[in-house]
Amino acid sequence: MLRTIAQSIHNGPKGHKTDWLLRTVDPKHLAILERECTQPSEFDQILSKQLLYRAYQQGKIQPYVVEHSVTKDVVIALFPSIDSVQDVPWGLWSQIVQLFRRPNGQPHTIFLLAHPAIRQFPQYGKLITPYHINGGYTYPCSADCVFIFRAEDATRVLIHELFHSNCCDNTQLNLEEREAETEAWAELFWCGLLSRGNLKTFKSLVAEQGSLIRTQNRRLVNGHHMKKEYQGFPWRYTIGKELLWAKWNLLQGTTDHMNIGNSMRLTVHPTDAMKKSFGVTSDSTIL
């Protein structure tokens, strides 16, 4: 499995920051942005849409809009500061949208509201909620609205939502199992992409990611943040995902005692060297 993924990434399309071209915002995209930001959301418990859209309405920030020169995918971003544009690994995002190019050629419309809230464990005994995990959503099999509302781990969220957008879900599974499978694949592809298709690096990063998964889940159960056997939120992002990685034989040689501090980020923290390699600032959490 790992060799196949590494080869597909190594031999697949390359991405460059210059693939993204500035363009004016389309009124139809503004209409979707307004619709999404003015309706209640069970996922956006950090209130990213409410806060950043209000800042836009008040003229404090303006949309940053780019279009991909090949796929014609459009990113409409609201950043707390225009300097945050440099936090996005645009070259990697170019590679991702090319890998997820739809067979019918229809471009994706991606909304990025880069709220700075980071994911952290709640206090002992407090249940995990979307506040602690979620960072985006989309509508299955639709390219019109891939919505990311948290900066941290936005690259992994982008991959996850593009799986949904491109009808890659296994509809034979129930919702929780389907989401767990999508998340398991998204994190595996994230490891492959950050490894640039180098098999040795890929295996090393998968082992580190496996240890993160096991450590987070042990702490979630031991801290009474969730019940191990309960197939409800956040099982899809935690235990369910781990069961699939175990089924795929990706957890051999991993540990459940990794030093992760209080972080609930679902992928390992990229090193400064990785961030430099992908052209983002050392403070960026988006990679």
The amino acid that residue 31 corresponds to is: A
Paired strand residues for 74: 67, 109
- What pLDDT score does 203 carry? 97
Instruction: Report the DSSP pairing between strands 74-78 and 109-113.
Output: parallel
Chain centroid to Cα 193, Å, comes to 13
Paired strand residues for 110: 75, 146
Rg (CA), the chain: 18
- What pLDDT score does 123 carry? 96
Q: Are 223 and 121 in contact (CB under 8 A)?
A: yes
d(CA 146, CA 166): 11
CA-based nearest residue to 236, from 139, 152, 134, 166: 134
Paired strand residues for 76: 65, 111
- Look up residue 45 and give its DSSP letter: T
Listed in sequence order, the residues at least 6 apart from 31 whose beta carbon sits closer than 8 Å to its beta carbon are none
CA-based nearest residue to 43, from 186, 162, 148: 148
Residue-wise pLDDT tens digits, 98-146? 999 998 999 999 999 999 999 999 999 999 999 999 999 999 999 999 9
Looking up tokens 């005692």 gives 257
Q: Are 161 and 136 in contact (CB under 8 A)?
A: yes
- What pLDDT score does 250 carry? 98
Burial of 41 (0-12, 13-18, 19+ CB in 10 A): middle
Residues of the chain with pLDDT under 70: none
From residue 138, alpha-carbon distances to 30, 53, 197, 285 in Å are: 17, 18, 27, 21
3-state secondary structure of 223: coil
3-state secondary structure of 137: strand
Structure token pair of residue 26: 């389309």
- What pLDDT score does 232 carry? 83
- What pLDDT score does 227 carry? 83
Strand ranges (DSSP E) for the chain?
20-22, 64-68, 74-78, 109-113, 136-137, 146-148
**Which value, to the nearest 10 degrees, does the dihedral of the CA atoms of residues 176, 178, 182, 183 take?**
10
- What pLDDT score does 230 carry? 75
3-state secondary structure of 76: strand
Decide: pTM greater than 0.95. yes
Every domain of the chain and the residues it spans: 2-277
